[in-house]
Structure 1
Amino acid sequence: MLLKNSIRSIIFLSILYLVIRLPLQSQTSLPNIIEALKINYAINLDGKLDEECWSQVKRISNFTQREISNGEPPTELTEVGICYNKDYLFIGVWCYDKEPDKIITKSMQRDFAYWEGDNFEVLIDTYNDKRNGYLFVTNPSGARADILIAQNGDAYNDDWNGVWDVAAEINGQGWFAEFEIPFTSLKFSEQAEQVWGINFERNIRRKREQLLWQNWSRDNFFEMVSGAGHLIGLKDIKSCNLLELKPFTLGGFEKIPSQDANSVLKIGGDINYLISPTLKVNLTANTDFAQVESDVMQINLTRFSLFYPEKREFFLEGKDFFTFNFGDERIFYSRQIGLLNRQEVPILAGGRLVGKVGNTNLGVLTMQTSEKDTLPSTNFSVVRVKQDIFERSSIGVILTAKNLPGHYNYVYGTDFNFSTPNFLGNKNLTILASIAQSQTQDLGNTNNLIYGAFIGFPNDIIRAEAYFIAVQKNFNPEIGFLNRTNYKRIGASFKYAPRPDFIPFIQQFVFKPLDINIYLTDETNELESFTYELRPLAFETKSGEYFEFDFQQYYDRVDVPFNLYGQTIPAGKYWFSKYRAEFETYRGRSFVVNINADIGKHYTASGASLGSSFKWNLSPKLNITGGYQKNYLELPDGVLDIDEFITHFTYSFNTKLFTSLFAQWNNIDEAILVNFRINWIPNIGSDFYLVFNQKINTMNQAITFQDFVVIAKLIWRFPVKM
C-alpha cells in the first residue's frame, strides 16, 4: 500500500509540475526562414568559404541552446548561408570559436560517431511534409555521416549512404565547412519554387553545448522534422530522371582446412532510376555483400532467438518504407532474405520501388534467391503502403510473401499511427494500433493473428508508455522475426527525469518507479513470463558522466528443458532477481569508459556478470575501441564461466581512404574471428574494398589458423541524366 501511494504521489506531482511549466516552453526562434541565393557557377569545395557568393548570401545566426542551459544564447557565434546552382545545393557554415585549439574532432571516417565530438548537422525536409527528411553531418575534419529520417524522427536509417560531399577547415577563428548536395540525391516535388523544411544543429563538445536554430525545446529533439524552419528561394530546380549504373567486379580466394583453395570471381551490379522526382527504382543482379563487416558473436543466456541487425547496403537503403513492427516482433526482417543461419544464400536478382506520391508512401520489394544445397530457389516479396493523415499521423497496410516449390507463406496487415506535439499544450503524444494475419501452406488458417496497441508520452521530464500485444499460436511471418509465439504481452513504464537547478553538479536525474512486462499464454491466459525493473536512482552530471542503479525481478515458466552451453535448465517455474549498476564517462573525452555489473539469480544459478568497454581517440585518424564481458553462473551441475573480448581499430589516411581491424573471441566458440578492411572512395558514390577474414581456432590452448578469405571488390558509379 505504501509503494502504491508513493507511486501515485510521484505521478501526481510530476503531472502538476509538467502543467505548471507549460507556458515556459518555446520552440521557435525568429527569423525561422533562410533564403537561398542562386548562382551560375560551381563552388570549389575546400571549407574556406572564399567564393563571392558567401559574402553576398543572407546568413542566419539566431541559434539557441538546447543544452546545457536550455533557452540561453550560445557562447559562440554560428552562421549559416545557402546558395545553389542548377545541379547542387551549397551550405556554408561558420562555426566561430574563441579557443580553436580546444575544438574536439575525433574521426575522419565515413559514417563517423558524430555525437562524440564537435559537429554540425543539417536536416532537410524536401517534401515539406513535416515527417521525412535527410540528415547530413560533418565535423571539423570534414568527415561525412548521413541519415534518412522518417515518422517525424521516430524512425531513421543511419546506414544510408547518400551521394554528397563536404569539406572543412580549422583556423584561428574557429572551424568552417562547405556542404555540396546534388539535387539528384534528393527527392522533391515538381514545383517552380520550392519551400523546404530545414534546421541546423551545432555541438561544442567540450562545453556540452548543443545549439539549434529551431525546435530547441527539451521535450523535442533535432530529428523532429515538424519543428524545422523554412528554406525559400529555390527556383526552377529539377531532380531530373537520373539513371545510376553501379556495376561491381569481385575477385579473391578462400581456403578452408582439408579443402583446396577456391578462387572467387563475380560480376554483378545495381541499377537505380528516378522514375519521378519522388519515386526511385533499384534493380540488382548477382548481388554480393562481401564487403560487409562480420556480425558480432553474441552469447545467449535465454531460451529465445537472438536478433542480429541488418548490415547489407541494398536492404538498408529505404528500409523505413517497409517498417511494420509490434514492439520487438517484426513483420518484415530483411535478414531472412539471402541468409540462413547467418550463412549466405546467393541472391540471383531483385528489385525495389520506394518513394512518395502526394501523401502516399510506397515501398515494393521482390528478391529471388538461388538454390543452395537442399534449399530451393525462393522468392521474397513485400508491399508497404502508408498514407499520411492529419499533421503527423498515418494509416497503412503491408503484404509479405514467400514462395518456393510446394510452399507459400503470406502476411497482410494494417496499422494506424497518431502523433501530436500539442497534447496538454505542447507535449508529445503517440498512439499506435496494428493487426496482421498470416497464411501458411499446411498450417491451419485459424489462430493466426498478431495485434496490438501502444500509447506513449515521450517528453523530457516525464516519459510514460503502455502497450498490449497478442501473438496467436499459428501466426507465422516467415520473412519476419518473432521472439516467441502464442502469447499476450502487457506492459507499462514511467520515468520521471527532473533537472534540479539547486544541485550544481547534476544535469538531470532519472527515476523509474515502473517498468513492467507481463507475458501470458495466449490460449489459457496463464502467466508465462514477468519482468519488472525499478530504477531508484540514475543521474547525469553537468560534466557528462552517467550513473544508474536498477533492481530487476524476473519470472519465467519453462515448459521444455533447454540447454545453456552444456548445462540443462529443467522445466519449471522460476522467480529470480538481480541488482544492476552502470557507470559511463563523458563521451566527449578522448578516453571514454563504460562499466556495468549485475549480481543475483538466473534460473537455477547464482552468479554475476561484469562488462566493460572503452574508446580511445588518439587523433582524428586513429581510434581504438575494446570491450570485455564476463558471465559467471554457479549451476547445480557445474559452473558456467564465459569470457568475451572484442576490439576494433580504425585508421583514416584522409576522408576518402580508411582501414579497420575488427577482432572478437569468446571461450564458448574458442575461436578468434578477425576482419580487416580497406575502403577507398575514388569518387563520391564509388567504392573499392579489400577485405580479409580469418578464423583462428584456440581450442586446447593451441592456435590453429582455419578459414581464410580475401576479397577485392570495386563498385563504380556511372550517373546518367535522362
Structure 2
Amino acid sequence: MFRIIPLIICCSFIGLSVTAQKKNDAFQLHIRKAVSPVKIDGIIDEAAWLQADVATGFHMILPMDTSAALLRTDVRMTYDDHNLYLVVENYTSGDGPYMVESLRRDFAFLKNDNFIMFMDPFDDQTNGFAFGANAAGAQWDGLMYDGGKVDLSWDNKWTSVVKNYPDKWVFEAVIPFKTIRYKKGITKWGINFGRNDLKTTEKSSWAPVPRQFPSASLAYTGNLVWDAAPPPAGANVSLIPYLLGGMSKDYDKNTPTKYRRDAGLDAKVAVTSSLNLDLTVNPDFSQVDVDKQVTNLDRFELFYPEKRQFFLENGDQFSNFGYTTIRPFFSRRIGLGGVPIRFGARLSGKLNKDWRLGVMNMQTGKQEETGLPAQNFTVAALQRRVFSRSNLGFIFINKESINYDPSKVTDKPVYNQYNRNMGLEYNLASSNNFWTGKAMLLKSSSPNKTGHDIAHAANLQYTSKQWNIGWQHEYVGRNYNAEVGYVPRQGYIKVAPQITRLFFPLSGPVLSHGPQVTSTWFFEETNMHRTDNETMLNYGIVFRKRNTLNVWASNTYIKLLQPFDPTNTGKDSLFTGSQHNWNTVGADYVSKPQSLFTYALSARYGGYYADGTRLMTNTELGYRFQPYVSIALSANYNNINLPKPWGNNSFWLVGPRLDVTMTNTLFFTGFMQYNGQQKNMNLNTRFQWRYRPASDLFIVYTDNYLPEPFWVRNRALVLKLVYWFNI
C-alpha cells in the first residue's frame, strides 16, 4: 500500500499541472512614459501623474472576499529612461493615529497600516519583487519566489516618501531599473497591489485574491501593460566594501583581549537584465541578530534559521529544496563555529521565462582548534518551469576537504574527505493555487557509506475556503548523509495526513472557526515497526478583530532508538527501546494587532517520558509608542516532574527586547536572553545608521554571563562601516 501512494500522488501532480489562462487577466493598468520630471515628495502635482492611468476599485480579501473594499485606494505608475515611479493614495476613515509598529524596514505586514506592490516582471506567476511602506514611511522590500513567498533579506537601492493628509496617506516611490531584473523586450508584467488597514481590519487588493491565500499570490496578479518595452537597465556593477574594528575578551579562558582590524568586499554584477553575479571576499556577519534561544527538550538537532544576507538573498533555489527536516543544503553549515570564509561567488537568476539558474561556490579556511581542514562548498541548482505554474528542479551539492590527510589529525576529529548530494524535485502549483505539492528524490555519496543512501518525500495539499486537506510521506535511508544539509534523523519512514474544515458565520464577532486533525507516524526503515506517533485534534477560532484562539488535545507515543536524557541537562538517560505514551491538552491565544499593547499566551499540560508530567507556559507581551519605540518581553516556563534520578526540573527562558527607531534611517535594538536550562545569559545591542541608501554604520556590543554566580564569560564590541558604490 505504501509504495502505491507515491505513484498516486505523482500521477495527481501531472493531472493537476495544466496550463490555464491567468485568473485576473482582465485587470490591466497601462503605464506610459512620464511627460514631466517626477519629484518624490508625496505631492501629486506633476503633469506625469495627472495624465497617468489610475488603478482603483480594490477588492476586499479580509474579513471576507466577496465584496468591494470599503476603503478607496488609487495607484498610478509611470517611468522614464532610468526609473520606475509609483504613487498611491491610501484613503482612510475615522479619526485617530495610523497603526504602525515602528519605522524599522521590513515590518510585519499584518501589524501595520501599509501598502505593498507585488511585481512579476517575467509574467511567470512564480518569481518577482515586492516594494511597499507603512503609513509612517518605513520601507518594505523583498524577492518573491514559489508563487507568493517574499524573502525580506533582500535590500537594494530605491527611494520613497510617505506624506500624511487628514483623509489619506500618500506613498510615492522611485525604483531604478538597475535595482530589479526583468526580461528584455517584455511589455506585459504581472502586478498586484495589496493594502492592510488595521482600524477597519480590512485587507484588500486591486486584482481579487481569495481569502485563503496571501495577497502576494502571483497566481492572481493583474497586468501592467507598457506603452513600449521598458528601457534596458544598462551596465550595473555595485561594489560594497566594509571596514571593521573591534575587540573581544574571553573571561572563561582568561585569555588576553583580542583586537580586530578587518576589511572585505562584496560585489554585484548584472550579467544580463535577469542574471546576477554576487562575489564576496573575506565576508563578515557581525551585525546579524543573535539566534533566539529555546528550551531544548528535543531528541534531535534543533533548526536555527540562516540570517546572513549573502546566503539568503536570491537563495530560495538552494535553501527551499526539500522539506523542513530533509534539507540537502543548509547554508549554516558553512562558516560558523569560528570557521573563516575566505571568498565566495554566486550566479543566480533567470535565463529566460522558463529557466532559473543558481550556482554558488564558497571557500573556508582551516580551523586550528579542531583540526578541521580548509573546505570548498559547491552548490548548483537548475529549475525549469512546466505547465502553468509548476517547476522541475535539479540540485547538486559538493563538500570537499582541501589537502585532506586523516593520518595527520588522528588526535583530533576526523572529517570526511568529501560529501556529495544530488536530487530532483517537482513542485506543483495549480493555476488557481488550490492544489500545491512537492515530490523529491535525493542520493548522497560519502566515503565508506554505500546502500540505503536515498531520501524520498512527497506531499499533496488542497486548499479552499472551507477545506485544507493534505498528505505527506518521507523516507530517509539509514546511510543517507547530507553534511551540508539539515537532516536530523535517518533510517525512517514517515506518514503525515491532515485535514481542516472551516465555517464562516454571517455575523457576530467570529470570522471563522473549525476543527483540524493531524496525525504523524514514524516507522523503522528495516521492519516498518512503529517508533513515533502523534495525533492532534485542534479547534481554531479567528475573530473579526484578527485575534485568534486555538484549543487542542494530543496523544503521543515514542519508542526510543537511542539513550535520551528527557531534561537535556546531562543527567541519566532512558534506555534504548523503552516505550512512552502520554496525553496532552493545550491552548493558544493571540490578541488583536490594532492595540498598542499586544500579547500572545499559550499553555500545555500533560504527560511526559517515564510516566512523568510536563507543564509549559509561554507569554509574549508587546507595547509600542508608535512609531518610535517598541518594547517586547517573551517568557517561557517548563516544569517537568519525573521519577529519580531526574526529579523535579524547572526551566525559565526570558527575553526582553527594546527597539528604538528614531527615524527610518536610525535604529537601535537591545536584546537580552536568560536561559535557565543552559545556565547562560546573553546581551546583544546594535545601533544602525543608514546614512545613504543600502549603506550602513553598525555598532554591535555583545555580552555573555554566567547567572549563578553572576560572572562575565565573554564580551565583544564591533564597529562596522558599509558603503554601496554603483559603477
- Residue 219 of structure 2 is matched in structure 1 by 226
Indicate conservation of the 8 Å contact 1:100/1:171, yes or no: no
**Once the two structures are aligned, what percentage of the paired residues are identical?**
24
Shift of 1:308: 0.2
- Residue 4 of structure 2 is matched in structure 1 by none
Shift of 1:493: 0.2
Indicate conservation of the 8 Å contact 2:453/2:479, yes or no: yes
Indicate conservation of the 8 Å contact 2:658/2:670, yes or no: yes
After superposition, the C-alpha distances for 1:262-286 in whole angstroms (9 at most, x for unaligned) are: 1101111111100101110011001
CA distance in 2, matches of 1:621, 1:664: 23
Say whether residues 1:543 and 2:545 are aligned partners.
yes
1:578-589 to 2 correspondences below 5 Å: 578-589=584-595
Say whether residues 1:45 and 2:48 are aligned partners.
no
CA distance in 1, matches of 2:211, 2:221: 15
Say whether residues 1:396 and 2:393 are aligned partners.
yes
1:120-519 to 2 correspondences below 5 Å: 120-153=115-148, 155-191=149-185, 194-233=187-226, 235-257=229-251, 258-322=254-318, 323-339=320-336, 343-358=337-352, 359-373=354-368, 374-404=371-401, 405=404, 407-422=417-432, 428-443=434-449, 445-501=450-506, 503-512=507-516, 514-519=517-522
After superposition, the C-alpha distances for 1:434-461 in whole angstroms (9 at most, x for unaligned) are: 1010000122x21100012211112331
Alpha-carbon spacing, 1:31–1:388, altered in 2? closer, same or farther (3 Å):
closer
Say whether residues 1:610 and 2:617 are aligned partners.
yes
CA distance in 1, matches of 2:255, 2:515: 58
Shift of 1:364: 0.4
Alpha-carbon spacing, 1:176–1:316, altered in 2? closer, same or farther (3 Å):
same
CA distance in 1, matches of 2:45, 2:339: 52
After superposition, the C-alpha distances for 1:580-607 in whole angstroms (9 at most, x for unaligned) are: 1111111222111111000001112212
Indicate conservation of the 8 Å contact 1:31/1:62, yes or no: no
Q: Which residue identity is paired with 1:115?
A: L
Shift of 1:29: 7.1
- Residue 60 of structure 2 is matched in structure 1 by 65
Shift of 1:206: 1.3
Shift of 1:562: 1.7
CA distance in 1, matches of 2:46, 2:151: 34
Moved more, 61-70 or 482-491: 61-70
Runs of 4+ aligned residues of structure 1 deviating over 4 Å after TM superposition are 26-31
Say which SS state the counterpart of residue 460 (structure 1) adopts. Answer: coil
CA distance in 2, matches of 1:592, 1:624: 10
Say which SS state the counterpart of residue 434 (structure 2) adopts. Answer: strand
After superposition, the C-alpha distances for 1:211-251 in whole angstroms (9 at most, x for unaligned) are: 11113222433121121011112534112231110111101
TM-score normalised according to structure 2 size: 0.91
Indicate conservation of the 8 Å contact 1:396/1:414, yes or no: yes
After superposition, the C-alpha distances for 1:390-448 in whole angstroms (9 at most, x for unaligned) are: 001111111000000250110011111222145xxxx61123211010000122x2110
Say which SS state the counterpart of residue 585 (structure 2) adopts. Answer: strand
- Gap runs ≥5 in structure 2: 1-20, 406-416
Say which SS state the counterpart of residue 350 (structure 1) adopts. Answer: strand
- Residue 5 of structure 1 is matched in structure 2 by none
Pick aligned residue for 1:555 from 557, 576, 589: 557
Say which SS state the counterpart of residue 101 (structure 1) adopts. Answer: coil
CA distance in 1, matches of 2:234, 2:570: 60
Alpha-carbon spacing, 1:69–1:415, altered in 2? closer, same or farther (3 Å):
closer
- Residue 643 of structure 2 is matched in structure 1 by 636
- Gap runs ≥5 in structure 1: 1-25
Alpha-carbon spacing, 1:356–1:259, altered in 2? closer, same or farther (3 Å):
same
Alpha-carbon spacing, 1:55–1:603, altered in 2? closer, same or farther (3 Å):
same
Number of residue pairs matched?
680
- Residue 601 of structure 1 is matched in structure 2 by 607
Say which SS state the counterpart of residue 430 (structure 2) adopts. Answer: strand
Shift of 1:41: 5.6
CA distance in 1, matches of 2:561, 2:657: 40
Q: Which residue identity is paired with 2:697?
A: F
After superposition, the C-alpha distances for 1:53-72 in whole angstroms (9 at most, x for unaligned) are: 22221111110111123222
Say which SS state the counterpart of residue 110 (structure 2) adopts. Answer: helix
CA distance in 1, matches of 2:708, 2:557: 36
Pick aligned residue for 2:527 from 521, 524, 528: 524
Higher strand proportion? 1
Say whether residues 1:708 and 2:715 are aligned partners.
yes
CA distance in 1, matches of 2:322, 2:230: 40
Say whether residues 1:719 and 2:726 are aligned partners.
yes
Say whether residues 1:76 and 2:82 are aligned partners.
no
